[in-house]
Chains A and B, each alone.
Chain A
């Protein structure tokens, strides 16, 4: 069974930093692009960042470019998101997703306040 489990969310002050992790199992993690997607309370899905299968190529939404860094460790089947200079409008549930395999985590809540 495919599974993604996010961790690392919490409450942080504006300007602070937080690191998220996503542990993958049940599918070929190293063979797929991976994504971070966020959803503010009561709002829609917003793509945040993506990384290619071997970690050599990344892309970011304009709203997080220069502040967030996506990375992965294929040996550990783990995806990361380092978030710096956090703003109040970064408050959201952050999902880890393997879009093409069709796998989503349950999300980890980040609150900037």
Chain B
């Protein structure tokens, strides 16, 4: 089964910019893999931030953006806030099968 890879951990300074990536063991991530991004804080359910690579929900803070970058899906946080410290998961679809990445623990420090 395909494996989705994410950075295990990243650190960003308050006000700084960081990019999280989401790769696929089968090859380049494309728009057809319908990348989703989720944020999960300790003790809470996940919250969906991005769908179809680069589309936001009404509740998605403007500082988050999604893209396809260098064969991977990417989530960029511009102007990090302390409340952005969380685990971030991507989700890709491969032949109808949904595969989550292992998650990136983002520290704002």
Residue B61 is within 8 A (CB to CB) of chain A in the complex: no
Contacts A99-B36, A102-B51; is A47 near B45 (CB within 8 Å)?
Answer: no
Taking CB atoms, residues of chain A closer than 8 Å to B91 are 45, 47, 99
Contacts A47-B98, A62-B1; is A95 near B46 (CB within 8 Å)?
Answer: yes
In contact, A44 and B96 (Cβ under 8 angstroms): no
- C-alpha gap A101/B18 in the complex (Å): 26
19 contacts between A and B (CB under 8 A): A37-B46, A44-B101, A44-B102, A44-B103, A45-B46, A45-B89, A45-B91, A45-B100, A45-B103, A47-B91, A47-B98, A47-B100, A97-B46, A99-B36, A99-B98, A102-B48, A102-B59, A104-B46, A105-B45
Q: How large is the interface on B (under 10, 10 to 19, 20 to 34, 35 or more residues)?
A: 20 to 34
Which residue of the partner chain, among B38, B45, B100, contacts A46 with CB atoms under 8 Å?
A: B100
Taking CB atoms, residues of chain B closer than 8 Å to A105 are 45
Residue B99 is within 8 A (CB to CB) of chain A in the complex: yes
Q: Fill in one digit per residue for A42-60: 1 if any B CB lies within 8 Å of its CB, else 0.
A: 0011110010000000010
User: Which residues of B line the A interface, CB within 8 A?
Assistant: 1, 36, 38, 40, 45-48, 51, 57, 59, 87, 89, 91, 96-103
User: Which residues of A line the B interface, CB within 8 A?
Assistant: 35, 37, 44-47, 50, 59, 61-62, 95, 97, 99-100, 102-107
Residue of B nearest to A61 (CB): B97
Residue of A nearest to B98 (CB): A47
Taking CB atoms, residues of chain B closer than 8 Å to A61 are 97
Residue of B nearest to A105 (CB): B45
- C-alpha gap A107/B45 in the complex (Å): 7
Contacts A44-B89, A45-B89, A99-B91; is A104 near B47 (CB within 8 Å)?
Answer: yes
Taking CB atoms, residues of chain B closer than 8 Å to A59 are 96-97
Taking CB atoms, residues of chain A closer than 8 Å to B98 are 35, 47, 50, 99
Question: Lowest 8 CB-CB distances: which A-B pairs, in order?
Answer: A102-B48, A47-B98, A104-B45, A44-B103, A45-B100, A102-B57, A44-B102, A45-B89
